[in-house]
Structure 1
Amino acid sequence: MPSAEKKPQTLYDKVFQEHIVDEKPDGTILLYIDRHLVHEVTSPQAFEGLRVAGRKNIPTTPRTNFKDVKSFVEEADSRTQCMTLEENVRAFGLTYFGLDDKRQGIVHIIGPEQGFTLPGTTVVCGDSHTSTHGAFGALAFGIGTSEVEHVLATQTLITKRSKNMRIQVDGALPLGVSSKDIILYVIGKIGTAGGTGAVIEFCGSAIRGLSIEARMSICNMSIEAGARAGMIAPDETTFEYLKGRPLAPKGDSAEWTRAVKYWRSLKSDEGAKYDNEVFIDAKDIAPTVTWGTSPQDVVPITGVVPNPEDFPTEEKRKSARDALVYMGLTPGTRMQDIALDKVFIGSCTNARIEDLRAAAKVVEGKRIAASLKRAMVVPGSGLVKRQAEAEGLDEIFIGAGFEWREAGCSMCLGMNPDILSPRERCASTSNRNFEGRQGAGGRTHLMSPVMAAAAAIVGKLADVRKIANSDTAPRKASPKLDVTPEPEDLSSDDDLESIMDISENNQPHTNTVALQTASSPLPKFSKLKGIAAPLNRSNVDTDAIIPKQFLKTIKRTGLGGALFHALRYNEDGSEKADFVLNEEPYRHAKILVVTGPNFGCGSSREHAPWALLDFGVTCVIAPSYADIFFNNMFKNGMLPVIIDDKAILERIATEASAGKEIEVDLINQVIKDSSGNKIAEFEIEEYRKHCLVNGLDDIGTTMLLREKIRKFEAKRTLETPWLDGSGYLSKKGRNGPVKVEAVPVPTTNRGEVITEPLEW
């Protein structure tokens, strides 16, 4: 009989399918991970977990006199994080880009720079904006700390298939409009929960016309649209960018040719089906800015602050009212009349050389407004900084009155001294404008680099199209970043091999030691009865659950006091009497009943469920969750229950509001009132239920599949050898995977980490 015709696949389907190690009847999948990036904020607890089980953000001030982390990082908690990272990379043998390494920088900028990010790979990091790497046709997504530990131990993740979503943007972009405006417009159109449960593929002529850097900005903020990841099919623009990168196959080699042939196949088939599609005409997009406390709160720069009473539902009206109170804005105010205190150009969204060139073109020959307290430019990596300085961009910014900083995340998340003071207003090229994101009480307006540059000159939110030299074309045209390391760094196979750790045998590189170790048990969860606290809010982000100033701990415990900090406490530290968790009997709540959708949106930080758990909450009931937060709850033995029927959810909330106990019976998948009457039923995946009821962690169950992982890796080496380094190393006759070796870590360095699969 003739074979069945192959079903058309999307780009996401193809990459996902190629990485399946094992699939259970309920759809639970063990997915192989090709690339893992690690940084200091979400890794300490993961390394600690490996140790216990026997399983094998920094200042951007000048570093001219840098000696070591201990003396350089002034904040004690930040210093602890950085020194802990150094200890961990030394102990576990990971590649480390330290503070005095010119390649150091933001993980989502240095990965592509080094050619570590390649089409068709799976890429993860304990950072929600890992979606950035999807610009290369990679399946890249953020993970929680428990999943960081899982990848370090097994080189795999346990997951489920996502839905397919397509956003097609066609036509020519108007003057002054960039990729940042595209993604802000998209988020404004579909909302911050519009892509929940989906991987978004961006396509269309407008997307095809963008540089790789611009594509990275779009994929970076796909997480702000609620998506698990964003992807763009690789093309000639992609291949040109990758050619010559240190960790990409050598250009014009047989390995490069073989890789490019495979990469060309990474596009959606004609007739591939999507669960949701959005079509946008590029001419409808104008330079865009945010007015509120969510990335979906956007208007054209020519617009005005909206009136909350114009929103269609009371839920949205309340959200808008709250946002305007926080932002200190009045409905009807012209956006261009809003005065600023600070301007920030940087972040993993917009700190690449192309961004800096475009911003420099706007400010060249001008001065920032005298009314500004501060304007900063923070390059995304040491190499971007060096390239910008070689082109004289630093002189343009400094001459205009900007601060020219060292590479880092800086004011994007405000975990170092680069923060806003309460009620200060900032024009920012970062990706989130949540309450307190850039500093407690700080007010953030998101926009593109050229718009931020224009705002700095005017001192208010400004239309870049009114500023001279503002056609947004880069000051110096370049088809790709000129940041390839100099010859003395990586000039030959011998030089490369001097920083490579090459397997002496042809064994797979999964952490075999880890796979032979018993799992760490979690508390068993079968039935929970207790006080349920009602929370009538929508889009509760992780910054609201646990503000970033409390993320500097290297432990998983002790965060209960910081839970919902801005909602629970006044500026003087006193309690807000009207917040539910400050009231009796809710101070002792074990269950949280959230009536609004999209709970846990924003960051991948696992600190959010840790804070809930430390407070005593082990179950959350809500209509919907952000994907990463949903996963993180299960990793900690907690139960997130989805009740999307509004009437049933209101019944549960009514019981909670009356101060009564409710019972969540996981075995029978029902919720009961205090009298034992059934209020609701709920669904849960069989695998996750099994783990919760039996107190199993994912690493323990993955250990049982070590032989399947070995076989997958052997097949991977044969089919895509460039992922093992065969394209950029002679390997001196050796076979099998290779790994970038950790530079010996003195107690002086600090930076970001890149790992490839562990070798054993």
Structure 2
Amino acid sequence: MPTAVSAPRTLYDKIWDDHVVTQKEDGLALIYIDRHLVHEVTSPQAFEGLRTAGRPVRRPDCTLATVDHNVPTASRKNFVSVTDFIAEPDSRAQCAALEENVKEFGLTYFGMKDRRQGIVHVIGPEQGFTLPGITCVCGDSHTSTHGAFGSLAFGIGTSEVEHVLATQTLLQKKAKNMRITVEGELHEGVTSKDVILYIIGIIGTAGGTGCVIEYAGSVFRGFSMEARMSVCNMSIEAGARAGMVAPDDITFAYLKDRPLSPKGEEWDRAVAYWRSLKTDEGAKFDIEVNVNAADIIPTITWGTSPQDVVAITGKVPDPSTMTDAVKRKSAERSLEYMGLTANTPMEEIPVDKVFIGSCTNSRVEDLRSAAKIVLAAGPGAKVAPNVHAMIVPGSGLVKEQSEAEGLDVIFKRAGFDWREAGCSMCLGMNPDQLAPGERCASTSNRNFEGRQGAGGRTHLMSPAMATAAALTGKLTDVRKYLGSVSEANIAAAPKLKELTAYQFLDAPAPPPEPITYTASGDLPEAEAPSTVEKFITVKGITAPLHIENVDTDMIIPKQFLKTLKRTGLANALFYTLRKDPHTGKDTDFILNRKPYNRSKILVCTGKNFGCGSSREHAPWSLNDFGIRCIIAPSFADIFRNNSMQNGMLPVTIPQEQCIVLAKDAEEQLEIEVDLQKEVIRRSNGEEISFTTDPFRRHCLLNGLDDIALTLQNKDSIQTFEQTRSEQWPWLDGFGYKGKKIPVNVSRGAPKTDW
């Protein structure tokens, strides 16, 4: 018999296939998770769930924790403890809770005393915790960053954080394959940030919904790992579940000899496997997008969505030219919020603040590109008067390397504020925030309303472009700092030392703090599925909403994320729409009006509801308000999943039908949603059909808990782990002292070094 030839597979197909533990007939799979990153914002409720159920962390050796979102980036010279250093009570509580949780559950933790502390998506690759071919998750949507290494990396909600901690697996449905190819030569001054902003401008923030994107073509092959990470980081802004670049010699050179990378013979075995992680010739993609590199010039955002992009040489768009009514209304809203007038040249827009940092652009390469613009501006270059410009390294090690190279001296001499590592002004959960009305040139990833501070206005761009804005005081084409004069200025400046990360990775770390943890790493015995609130039918008042791209920051602003509970968030729902920012009084927003303040259902006529963060706080706030069902033309993937984890039902129907239901809602007619029969009943008796994932429908109707269901697959998970250890032994918990942690035995705290 001739040997069967397998069909050509994509990079995503290969990694997915290698991680399926069990597969259901409806396509839902239990996949194994190789790496789990944890931070303070999305984990407290997950650890509390483990504690309540008496469950241990399944694989402490595959879990790495740090604090990043809440931490101040001011000098830590006098740092003693989190409780003394962090002034804001809720921020302090989240950071303190994580410190207690990692001690109780025996996890590797980079605390604020640790020079390795930083943004999760910077420290993972930096330490070699991120590797090709793995599955990697974190309670943060920008986990897609790690796909730059040829891994399947995506953000998850808090319920899923608990699921991974307890079982080291996740229930997932395979996404579609999408390939974005960029061929050709990039113009001078065009960076990876310009490339991804341009792509999002083409396909929109919902363009990748339901997909995993593979980035291909000569441009991505020529990018450094830092540049690839910036692109994959913003895949979520294009609506994708994840973004990936096939690993190659550039990847292997970056990873070799990192603290947690495989060593010796296992390195050779790993590289041999990693070289197989590329899309086969003839593999089919569901969606293909081709981009000519020559079409991209320095790009910037003008509105309140990452798809609101324009060339720096362009003008603010005119909503009156837009034919789609919902898009036109969204554009008008954006311009009003941003304080912009249609047809204003982008280079005439002044800025108040400049932020260079975030998990998108806070690595050494990013800071070097910013420093180069300062040098190109010539001796005596200074941040413009009335502009506050801050630079926040992505980790303590990035900061140390930058200082050793002399980058900090360049920045400080020019008037930039040089900070400590953290998420900083990317989302303003810490003291680094915009004041209402302030305009920021930012290297972060989101320009949502209030993202960097209530009433703050954000323009996304590359580090080089942000530096140019800092020096001129307005949005500026970075190419003005390129050319012969600029090269002469750089040549005349003192030569910078360009060092390697390896000169900093192995320096002494603080001694580990005591950990008390004795639980076994084995899975607990299978148990009967526990119950959560059932969803069978919901009937009642429905609130209409006519907004496109309703993002998670709009649903619940960042100041309400500092909670250790899942409840008490009803007043936070759509807070910036429900409260006047100047007076604090209630506005005329739909949920403030009777009878809509008692709504059980929300119908949105705009597409892409729930885009943005993977944080579960958005569905928590809706649920707490009393809304059990959201009807919309389309949903962001993570929001849809998070809603169902909380006993809520997201219903997708055509936009025309959403408009019909919104009109019913405006007439205060009740609507009934019947999940059992999968129909929406209007008051006139008409029924609108919808479909739901069979497994999720079963769980909602019966109020079943995912973790308890997964634990019924205990034997399959343990069998998978045994095979995994044989095939990819480098994935089994290397500790920071080079000791390997055996699988399926008790893992004492001394095995992992803080």
TM above 0.5: yes
Q: Which has the higher contact order (CA 8 A, sep 6+)?
A: 1
% identity of equivalent residues = 62
State the one-letter code of the partner of 1:533. A
SS at match of 1:168: strand
Of residues 461-470 and 262-271 in structure 1, the stretch that sits farther from structure 2 once superposed is 461-470
In the TM superposition, residue 4 of structure 1 has moved relative to its aligned partner by 3.1
Q: Distance in 2 between matches of 1:437 and 1:211?
A: 29
Structure 1 contact 725–739 (Cα < 8 Å) conserved: no
**Counterpart-to-counterpart distance in 2, 1:45 and 1:737:** 27
Q: Does 1:705 align with 2:709?
A: no
Choose from 340, 345, 362 the match for 1:351.
362
Match of 1:651 in 2: 660
Q: How does 1:223-372 map to 2 (within 5 A)?
A: 223-250=236-263, 253-364=264-375, 365-372=379-386
**Distance across 2 between alignment mates of 1:296 and 1:201:** 19
Partner of 2:401: 387
**Could you say if the C-alpha distance between residues 64 and 188 of structure 1 is closer, same or farther in structure 2, counting changes exceeding 3 Å?**
same
CA distance in structure 2 between the aligned counterparts of 1:275 and 1:73, rounded to whole angstroms: 48
Q: 1:151-166 counterparts in 2 under 5 A?
A: 151-166=164-179
Distance 1:21 1:729 in 2: 31
Q: CA deviation at 1:571?
A: 1.4
Q: 1:739 to 1:265 in 2, by over 3 A?
A: farther
SS of the residue aligned with 1:512?
coil
Give the conservation status (yes or no) of the 8 Å contact 2:183–2:218. Answer: yes
Partner of 1:456: 470
Structure 1 contact 648–679 (Cα < 8 Å) conserved = no
The 2-side partners of 1:7 and 1:359 are apart by 46
Contact 1:45–1:554, Cα closer than 8 Å, also in 2: yes
> What amino acid is aligned across from residue 614 of structure 1 in structure 2?
D
Q: Is the 8 A contact 2:441 2:460 kept in 1?
A: yes
Aligned to 1:724: 732
Q: Is the contact between residue 90 and residue 744 of structure 1 (CA under 8 Å) also seen in structure 2?
A: no
Instruction: Within 5 Å, give how 1:118-197 maps onto structure 2.
Output: 118-197=131-210
| Aligned equivalent of 1:750 | none
Residue identity in the other structure for 2:463:
P
1:25-44 pair list within 5 angstroms: 25-44=25-44
- Which one of 402, 416, 428 corresponds to residue 402 of structure 1? 416
Instruction: Provide the C-alpha distance between the structure 2 equivalents of 1:114 and 1:144, rounded to a whole number of angstroms.
Output: 24
Alpha-carbon offset, residue 386 of structure 1: 0.2
Is the Cα–Cα contact under 8 Å of residues 240 and 480 in structure 1 kept in the other structure?
A: no
Q: What residue number does 1:566 align with?
A: 576
- Within 5 Å, give how 1:360-509 maps onto structure 2: 360-364=371-375, 365-467=379-481, 481-482=501-502, 484-489=504-509
Partner of 1:86: 99
Distance in 1 (CA, whole Å) between partners of 2:574 and 2:655 is 24
Matches within 5 A, 1:1-20: 1-20=1-20
CA contact (8 A) 1:249 1:727 kept: no
Aligned amino acid, residue 717 of structure 1: S
Q: Matched residues in 2 for 1:278 and 1:15: separation?
A: 22
1:669 matched residue in structure 2: 678
Query: Which residue pairs with 2:642 in the alignment?
Result: 632
CA drift of 1:244 comes to 1.0
- For 1:732 and 1:153, locate their aligned partners in 2 and report how far apart those are by CA, in whole Å: 21
Deviation at 1:649, TM superposition (A): 2.2
1:334-383 deviations in whole A, cap 9, x for unaligned? 11111110000000000000000110111133433443341100000000
> 1:616-650 deviations in whole A, cap 9, x for unaligned?
0011111110000000001001111111x233222
Q: Is the 8 A contact 2:469 2:476 kept in 1?
A: yes
Paired position in structure 1 for 2:722: 714
Distance 1:175 1:669, change over 3 A: same
In the TM superposition, residue 511 of structure 1 has moved relative to its aligned partner by 4.9
Unaligned segments of structure 2, at least 5 residues: 57-69
**Structure 2 residue identity aligned to 1:359:** A
Quote how far apart the aligned CAs of 1:730 are.
7.0
Please tell me the residue identity of whatever aligns with 1:226: G
Q: Aligned partners of 2:71, 2:265: CA distance in 1, in Å?
A: 41
* CA–CA distance in structure 2, aligned partners of residues 386 and 179 of structure 1: 24
1:317 Cα offset (Å): 1.4
Q: Which stretch shifts more, 649-658 or 200-209?
A: 649-658
Q: Distance in 2 between matches of 1:65 and 1:727?
A: 30
Tell me if the contact between 2:76 and 2:420 (Cα under 8 Å) persists in the aligned partners: yes
Deviation, 1:727, is: 11
Quote the offset at 1:578 in angstroms. 2.7
SS in 1 for 2:505: coil
User: Would the alpha carbon gap of residues 103 and 738 (structure 1) be closer, same or farther in structure 2, given more than 3 Å must change?
Assistant: farther
Q: In the alignment, what sits opposite 1:756?
A: none
Distance 2:603 2:668 in 1: 12
Contact in 2 for aligned 1:725/1:737 (Cα 8 Å): no
Residue by residue over 1:522-564, the C-alpha shift from the partner in whole angstroms, topping out at 9 and shown as x without a partner, is 1111111111111111100000000001100111001010100
Q: 1:321 to 1:743 in 2, by over 3 A?
A: farther
Q: CA deviation at 1:68?
A: 0.6
Q: In the TM superposition, what is the alpha-carbon distance from 1:481 to its structure 2 partner?
A: 3.5
Residues matched between the structures, number: 731
Q: Normalized against structure 1, the TM-score is what?
A: 0.92
Match of 2:551 in 1: 541
Do the aligned partners of residues 193 and 740 (structure 1) sit closer, same or farther apart at CA in structure 2, a change above 3 Å counting? Answer: farther
Residue 50 (structure 1) shift = 1.1
Q: Which amino acid aligns with 2:284?
A: K
**What is the CA deviation profile of residues 225-272 of structure 1, one whole-angstrom value per residue up to 9, with x for unaligned ones?**
00000000000000000001000012xx21111100000000000011
CA separation of 1:399 and 1:130: change in aligned 2, threshold 3 A: same
Distance 1:674 1:118, change over 3 A: same
Name the amino acid aligned to 1:263. Answer: W
Compared CA separation, residues 72 and 733, structure 1 to 2 (3 A): closer
- How much does 1:732 deviate? 8.3
**Other-structure match for 1:758:** none
Q: What corresponds to 1:606 in structure 2?
A: 616
For the residues of structure 2 that align with 1:727 and 1:295, how far apart are their CA atoms?
A: 39
**Cross-structure match for 2:61:** none
- The answer as to 2:706 corresponding to 1:695 is no
2:523 is equivalent to residue 512 of structure 1 = yes
CA distance 1:477–1:448, change in 2 (3 Å): farther
Change (3 A) 1:305 1:264: same
Paired with 1:533 and 1:124, the residues of 2 have a C-alpha distance of 34
The answer (yes or no) to whether the contact 1:245–1:484 under 8 Å persists in 2 is no
2:109 is aligned with 1:101: no
Tell me, in whole angstroms, the C-alpha distance in 2 between the residues paired with 1:668 and 1:299.
46
Residues 279 and 738 of structure 1, relative CA distance in 2, 3 Å threshold? farther
Distance verdict in 2 for CA 1:730–1:48, change over 3 Å: closer
Aligned partner of residue 541 in structure 2, secondary structure: strand
